[in-house]
Amino acid sequence: MITLLKKRILLGISGSIAIYKVFELIRYLRKKQAIVRIVMTKTSKKLINKLSLQILSNYKVFDDIFYTNNNNIIHIKLAKWADLILLVPATANIIAKVALGLADDLLSTICLATKAKIIIIPSMNNYMYKSPVTQHNIKTLRKRGILIWGPNFGKQICGDIGLGSMLNPNIIIKKLKQYFNTPLKNFNIMITAGPTHELIDPVRFISNYSSGKMGFSIAYVAALLGANVTLISGPVNLLTPPGNIKRINVISALEMKKAVMDNISNQNIFIGCAAVSDYRIINFSSSKIAKKDNLIINLIKNPDIISEVSQLTKNRPYVIGFSAETNLIKEHARKKLIEKKLDLICANNVSKNRFNNINNNYNELYLIWHDGEMLLSLNKKQVLAKQLMKQIIIRYEKDNKH
């Protein structure tokens, strides 16, 4: 399967010393039958011959923001044409422009006008790369869903050793194949993660030990596979994973339910990984309750969010639940699968031991569906997330065949 066949790739070339590598990259892309258009910055033209790139790509190379042809505004035309924009090599300057939304030349204007995915391949001196400003810009771009590939660590042309070298063209091609072969491209996936806090008074609450690590790992893998991820998280001390992830922070079960139902209508897959508190306080005290020898708290059952999602009659997504158990793991999970009308459930043992504590970095999952089951053996949660997403894709495709 030729994953780059007729893919329209716009190369944005800026003025790094690694610019010579684009010759090999263009040859690779053409060999894989991709369609390549090139836009050059003013600085890049001082380092490489425009005509050579034009011959290699077999298309006119653009560098002038004021170029027009048949009344077509070139930056809009190219912005709409591209399936993917690859900034390679990407200097600190073009990274800063894209991060800030500047549009003072053809390439930066295209980046601002496009709906296509942008991938940045950095190339610069290691001190420039490690600069707090550059790192801030990269962090900003990642939050917007822009992919950053590289840089490599090694000896640089200036003699310094460190991060900053551009990825080799063959590695870029491999990553492009993976990108265009993403099984969840254009999929919408909602994931709930972490605990909920049910307030007793302004300083006390009921909760559990959930860290959110499993749900955040699943969100990262889903985004890596091309999905548009909505991550609804209870109170956790975790950074949002890189990629196309929209994070919604909530505190209580009622807030989580509202966030889920407000955003569920266009989801293909729902993964309820959050450890939602089963109960909440009936009468929240607006002032701190004085310490007493005995305190009686009246509780009421929280809504079962995943059951409400699974019982939707319109735009129902494929529903995956989690079941944290301390005994009869599979038996209890299969019962929940049936009662809650789920498509798949992931059961794990949260009894107190050094591996399976709910707040640990390791886990073991039993996957159970209506006509089968399998074990994902003890492993890091990041690894389990990859294995789990693979199985979810298999089950989803099988259950949605017509």
Residue located via tokens 């053409």: 30
CB atoms within 10 A of CB 104: 9
156 in the same domain as 274? no
What CATH number corresponds to the domain at position 196? 3.40.50.10300
pLDDT in tens, 316-373: 999 999 998 888 889 999 999 999 999 999 998 877 554 445 667 888 899 999 999 9
256 in the same domain as 382? yes
What CATH number corresponds to the domain at position 159? 3.40.50.1950
249 in the same domain as 359? yes
142 in the same domain as 163? yes
Q: Model confidence at 253, in pLDDT bands (50, 70, 90)?
A: very high
157 in the same domain as 208? no
Residue 349 lies in a domain: yes
Residue 3 lies in a domain: no
70 in the same domain as 19? yes
CB atoms within 10 A of CB 173: 19
Nearest to 201 by CA among 274, 303, 302, 297: 297
Domain boundary among 147, 180, 213: 180
CB atoms within 10 A of CB 310: 21
193 in the same domain as 137? no
Q: Is the pLDDT of residue 31 over 60?
A: yes
> Is the CB of residue 355 less than 8 Å from the CB of residue 335?
no
Residue 382 lies in a domain: yes
Residue 1 lies in a domain: no
Distance between CA atoms of residues 252 and 255, nearest Å: 5
Beta strands in 212-308 (DSSP E): 228-233, 245-249, 269-272, 279-281, 299-301
80 in the same domain as 118? yes
pLDDT in tens, 102-149: 999 999 999 999 999 999 999 999 999 999 999 999 999 998 889 999
167 in the same domain as 83? yes
Q: What is the mean pLDDT of residues 46-56?
A: 93
Beta bridge partners of 247: 231
**Known catalytic membership, residue 273:** no
Which pLDDT does position 1 carry in this prediction?
A: 44
Domain boundary among 180, 211, 239: 180
Q: Is the pLDDT of residue 198 over 60?
A: yes
Residue 364 lies in a domain: yes
Nearest to 123 by CA among 79, 191, 169, 77: 169
Please provide the average confidence, as pLDDT, over all residues in the chain: 91
Domain boundary among 148, 180, 212: 180
389 in the same domain as 306? yes
Q: Give the structural domain span for 73.
A: 8-180
Residue 2 lies in a domain: no
> Is the CB of residue 209 less than 8 Å from the CB of residue 31?
no
362 in the same domain as 236? yes
Residue located via tokens 């991550």: 231
116 in the same domain as 53? yes
Residue 377 lies in a domain: yes
pLDDT in tens, 53-92: 999 999 999 998 888 777 678 899 999 999 999 999 999 9
Residue 242 lies in a domain: yes
Active-site pick, 111, 158, 273, 346: 158
Number of domains in the chain: 2
Which pLDDT does position 86 carry in this prediction?
A: 98
